[in-house]
Structure 1
Amino acid sequence: MDNFLVLALTSILCASFLICIAFIKGASSKSLERASILEFSTCFVRSSSSSSYRLPPGPRPYPVIGNILELGSDPLLSITNLSKSYGPIMLLKLGTRTAIVISSPEIAREAFHKHDLDFSSRTFPDSARALDHHQVSVAWLPISPKWRALRRAGVTKVFSTLKLDSTQFLRQNKVEDLINHVREYSIKGEAIDLAEAFFNTVLNLVSNMLFSMDFSCHGSDKTQEYKKLVIGIVDENGRANVSDLFPFLSFLDPQGVRARLRGYYKKLYKLFDDILEERLCLRSSNMESKDYNDVLDSFLNLIQDNSSQLSRGDIIHFFMDLFVAGTDTTSSTLEWAMAELIRNPEKMIKARIELQQVLGNKSDTLKLEETTVSMLPYLQAVLKETLRLHPPAPFLVPHKAICDVELSGFLVPKNAQLLANVWAMGRDPGIWENPNSFVPERFLESEIGFKGNDFKFIPFGAGRRICPGLPLASRVLAFMLASLIYHFDWEVPNGLKTEDMDMSQTYGITLHKAQPLRAVPVKM
């Protein structure tokens, strides 16, 4: 049975249960209104606004459940197909929530450039309330003094050019560990689980930047524990949840999503709190044998400053955001990039030739460096093409209208959720030639980048809520991909033909390859 059909039935049952309880207790009509019964009968009125603008078009909603059934088992594809019928700005009713879906560069520019402040707030999943994470998360906070303080701390102490340059050697070492690990499989002639290898490497990249320590060892039980935490958090945040459709049911947590996520968050919080406490003890005892000069040190200096707006808890929640989002989206994008190159071997050869032309003949002592990436336009084009076809967050992180907004001649009501379907824009034949084909060449001789300036290609978002980790992601993705292409050729296992590779996807908040990528590395 489709996930959203189950969700619809669950929604109706929960709502019916609450109504029955209200009547059994002799609830007054006023309390029933608070329980949102009247909301069911009014939330689908499409033309009651006093504004001269009308609401965007969209499919007619069913009572109570709205348009949930139209989403089917693949909401990303379903919403994209609905937009083809109703246009580049479309209204969906998801339970009692109003969602506005935009799927054209022109409307995206209007939303994130002209009305950037109007759409600067966030809607967040009910699961984000676990451990009160929504109140301190830079991803979910509205524009506020705390959000600005966290954003400023991230920009200056994690993602600045100076800081990234100073931590380049850490990433160099972790990528070298990856190459050595892949080489073991090459010697044995065995297929390697690249999804697993990428996750472990990115996990260590992030943990070394933050805390100067490895969190992962290939194949270890501890690595699996950390992976379970990250994947668990990502999966629960992306799960279809009745509490998101009917917020008044949130206190019930009918599917147990928030409870499970609270368990994951508590484990991650304790892990980071213990690391922070250990570092503080070293500082106070003057027994520290070395100057770490890592992100943790920078943030400890910040919270010990009496003028700082950030607390110890704020910093730990900030690290949780960096740890989860950075590890999941980066490793997934690398997996998609390698899958596309293996599936299109002529593109792999072209990227390798470019590397050889820049670096010369390969030798055992030659090492790639991050600075090399700027001299590799075709490799950059490969990454852009990967992000066009497989954006990490297909609808970006949801925005929320802080007031009534006129957008492309339609009314976006206050508090409506705004979803930018960048996945659909990346596959729109009206924007891209041969949109479903992997053609990195389309980005050569082009000024299109992924920094949010060209609205037909905004995989990391745009405006003031653009992904703050973009500077790090762009370095890591290019450097790791170049290293794997340069040192190894790649073959599909078990005699499978490249054109028969499984490229199906799964979608929650982020986009993943449904079947983990396995390939045989061949030493060059």
Structure 2
Amino acid sequence: MEMILVSLCLATFLSLLFLKPLLERITPTKRKLPPSPWWSLPVIGNLHQLGPNTHRSLHSLSLRYGPLMLLHLGRVPVLVVSCPEVTHDIVKTHDLKFANRQDLKAIGIYMKGGRDIIFAPSGEDWKNMKSLCMMHLFNNKMVRSFEKLREEEIKVITKKLEEACSSSSSVNLRKLLMTLTNDIMCRIILGRKYNSEEGGIDIKNLVVTLHECFGKFFVGDFIPSLAWIDRISGVDAKMEDINNKLNGFLDSVVQEHADREESSDFVDMLLSIQKDQTKRFGLDRGDIILILKDMFFAGTLTNFSVLEWTMTELMRHPECMKKLQDEINSVSAHNSNVTEKEVEKMDYLQCVIKEGLRLHPAAPLLSRISTEDIKLKGFDIAAGTQVLINASSILRNPAIWGHDAEEFKPERHIGSNSEFIGNDSKFLPFGAGRRVCPGLGFSIVLSKLTLANLVKRFNWRVTVGPGEDDKPDLAEASSGIDVRRKFPLIVFPSLVHA
């Protein structure tokens, strides 16, 4: 009997010894997950806890559950990051593992299986596409080459503002700035202006509507079994319609350029790259159209939004407006418009732009997706988890920016090492890492030049006469993927030297 017991014990021991590795492989170990809100509902998860301004809702939740928080939006696990330390791990240390974006319905409609720079998955094709554009389109030499064009368009809007001053009439500054950025983008990219005033298609409204479609909630992205709701609500059809109109317009422009000899704009450059047989990476017509869409998508609304918000803050803080005006006049003492060469000498202007972007980043939420299992600050993050970096929350964090983090204070950037390119994880107005915005050089140059001329030449009021509440509001719109003012900025300009 004793021998039988010993034999059974030995057999059991040997069985466990050999089976242990197999059991460890097939038995899931308990993972350590980031904290989550306890009130998660069946099917929809935490979707009910998001308000119209998603970045604000996520910030409120992070105050309760911490800077690293796991939500379940329908069937999609979403890691919300609200601190620079983990942001650095994602966009720098593990950038390659977080280089992709989530495969959303809007992105699928926008790309239609093509290759672009903003949304395409990270890989050799995307890398080559971005390198090609950085080398030929977004380099410093190309940015400088359009200096005269930018200055010409600035003169157009200053003339309109002078006319408004002479008649003491109001100006919709949003409309004016949007027209400015659209006209500059059209001339740089397509060779001429395209708007209703010029008798052509109003590409500005197409891009605005496309942005709004990206900000719509596609039910199927989070609850696939309810994707039919998107078809019934018409959100699918609206996105398809706007995207097809934009594709058709750009295709006709590309064809016009292909039929001519001269070369002067981005379309011509892309066509010359397409014809160059020495390139290892080839472009087809669909690639060219997607690159053009990317430039309008990322350039037009981003630029005008930065300018509108910064002008809003300057009008709310007249002491900052006066300080900036003094700097501009000390560098640009003549009576004509400020030039780009003069703008580069203005340090406080740089601080004002930085502070405008800190309080009102063009993209408050930076989206990534994990491509493999990874540990972040001791927490297990599964492959396929969507990551939302709440840049807005980081940029207003009192622990980083001080007790006055909610205040517009350009002086906080004097002597700062933070740059627009995202080398500092607490200041990411244009993203960082592989997904940093490639066109940020164009955006910053245009923002500086426009702001310098608006502040030098004109005084600004939001009412006709003096009043106690003579400040523009800070209400945010809830549509689109960017964060714009809820209401247009209606102003009464007057000449500084009148």
TM-score by length of 1: 0.85
State whether residues 477 and 487 of structure 2, in contact with CA within 8 Å, keep that contact through their aligned partners in structure 1. no
What are the equivalent positions in structure 2 for 1:7-406 lying under 5 Å apart?
50=28, 53-60=31-38, 61-130=40-109, 132-133=111-112, 135-216=114-195, 225-250=202-227, 253-254=230-231, 255-283=233-261, 291-306=262-277, 307=279, 308-360=281-333, 362-363=334-335, 366-396=336-366, 398-406=367-375
State whether residues 55 and 411 of structure 1, in contact with CA within 8 Å, keep that contact through their aligned partners in structure 2. yes
After superposition, the C-alpha distances for 1:388-443 in whole angstroms (9 at most, x for unaligned) are: 100011112x1010101111111121111111101011111111120111000100
**1:451 is matched with which residue?**
421
Report the Cα distance in structure 2 between the residues aligned to 1:187 and 1:124, rounded to whole angstroms.
Answer: 52
Q: Structure 2 unaligned runs (5+)?
A: 1-25
State whether residues 243 and 253 of structure 1, in contact with CA within 8 Å, keep that contact through their aligned partners in structure 2. yes
Deviation at 1:378, TM superposition (A): 0.6
Of 493, 515, 523 in structure 1, the residue corresponding to residue 487 of structure 2 is 515
Report the Cα distance in structure 2 between the residues aligned to 1:516 and 1:158, rounded to whole angstroms.
Answer: 32
Q: 3-state SS of the aligned residue for 1:339?
A: helix
State whether residues 114 and 287 of structure 2, in contact with CA within 8 Å, keep that contact through their aligned partners in structure 1. no
Compared CA separation, residues 53 and 319, structure 1 to 2 (3 A) = same
Q: 3-state SS of the aligned residue for 1:138?
A: coil
Deviation at 1:499, TM superposition (A): 5.8
Higher Rg = 2
Q: 3-state SS of the aligned residue for 1:122?
A: coil
Q: 3-state SS of the aligned residue for 1:341?
A: helix
Report the Cα distance in structure 2 between the residues aligned to 1:499 and 1:150, rounded to whole angstroms.
Answer: 48
Report the Cα distance in structure 1 between the residues aligned to 2:207 and 2:191, rounded to whole angstroms.
Answer: 19
TM-score by length of 2: 0.89
State whether residues 53 and 409 of structure 1, in contact with CA within 8 Å, keep that contact through their aligned partners in structure 2. no
Report the Cα distance in structure 2 between the residues aligned to 1:195 and 1:229, rounded to whole angstroms.
Answer: 16
Of 375, 387, 393 in structure 2, the residue corresponding to residue 424 of structure 1 is 393
Compared CA separation, residues 497 and 337, structure 1 to 2 (3 A) = farther
Q: 3-state SS of the aligned residue for 2:427?
A: coil
Deviation at 1:116, TM superposition (A): 0.6
* Deviates further, 491-500 or 264-273: 491-500
Q: 3-state SS of the aligned residue for 1:512?
A: coil
Of 423, 428, 433 in structure 2, the residue corresponding to residue 463 of structure 1 is 433
Deviation at 1:369, TM superposition (A): 1.7
Q: 3-state SS of the aligned residue for 2:387?
A: strand
**2:21 is matched with which residue?**
none
> Which letter does structure 2 place at the counterpart of 1:119?
F
**2:12 is matched with which residue?**
none
**1:409 is matched with which residue?**
378
Compared CA separation, residues 523 and 500, structure 1 to 2 (3 A) = closer
Q: 3-state SS of the aligned residue for 1:380?
A: helix
State whether residues 91 and 100 of structure 1, in contact with CA within 8 Å, keep that contact through their aligned partners in structure 2. yes
Deviation at 1:221, TM superposition (A): 7.6
Report the Cα distance in structure 2 between the residues aligned to 1:104 and 1:389, rounded to whole angstroms.
Answer: 16
State whether residues 111 and 290 of structure 2, in contact with CA within 8 Å, keep that contact through their aligned partners in structure 1. no
> Which letter does structure 1 place at the counterpart of 2:493?
P
Deviation at 1:250, TM superposition (A): 4.1
Report the Cα distance in structure 1 between the residues aligned to 2:113 and 2:221, rounded to whole angstroms.
Answer: 14
> Are 2:457 and 1:487 aligned?
yes
State whether residues 138 and 147 of structure 1, in contact with CA within 8 Å, keep that contact through their aligned partners in structure 2. yes
Q: How many residues align?
A: 464
State whether residues 130 and 259 of structure 1, in contact with CA within 8 Å, keep that contact through their aligned partners in structure 2. no
> Which letter does structure 2 place at the counterpart of 1:383?
I
Compared CA separation, residues 271 and 53, structure 1 to 2 (3 A) = same
Deviation at 1:51, TM superposition (A): 5.7
After superposition, the C-alpha distances for 1:24-61 in whole angstroms (9 at most, x for unaligned) are: xxxxxxxxxxxxxxxxxxxxxxxx99466511111022
> Which letter does structure 1 place at the counterpart of 2:66?
G
Deviation at 1:154, TM superposition (A): 1.9
Deviation at 1:453, TM superposition (A): 0.9
Deviation at 1:124, TM superposition (A): 4.2
Compared CA separation, residues 138 and 247, structure 1 to 2 (3 A) = farther
State whether residues 35 and 70 of structure 2, in contact with CA within 8 Å, keep that contact through their aligned partners in structure 1. yes
**2:14 is matched with which residue?**
none
**1:36 is matched with which residue?**
none
* Deviates further, 443-452 or 124-133: 124-133
Report the Cα distance in structure 1 between the residues aligned to 2:464 and 2:56, rounded to whole angstroms.
Answer: 31
Report the Cα distance in structure 1 between the residues aligned to 2:422 and 2:103, rounded to whole angstroms.
Answer: 22
Q: 3-state SS of the aligned residue for 1:511?
A: coil
> Which letter does structure 2 place at the counterpart of 1:376?
M
Report the Cα distance in structure 2 between the residues aligned to 1:104 and 1:519, rounded to whole angstroms.
Answer: 37
After superposition, the C-alpha distances for 1:100-121 in whole angstroms (9 at most, x for unaligned) are: 0001111111111111111001
Deviation at 1:222, TM superposition (A): 5.2
Report the Cα distance in structure 2 between the residues aligned to 1:438 and 1:221, rounded to whole angstroms.
Answer: 41
Compared CA separation, residues 49 and 501, structure 1 to 2 (3 A) = farther
Deviation at 1:500, TM superposition (A): 4.7
Compared CA separation, residues 436 and 261, structure 1 to 2 (3 A) = same
Report the Cα distance in structure 2 between the residues aligned to 1:51 and 1:409, rounded to whole angstroms.
Answer: 15
Q: 3-state SS of the aligned residue for 2:155?
A: helix
Compared CA separation, residues 136 and 164, structure 1 to 2 (3 A) = same
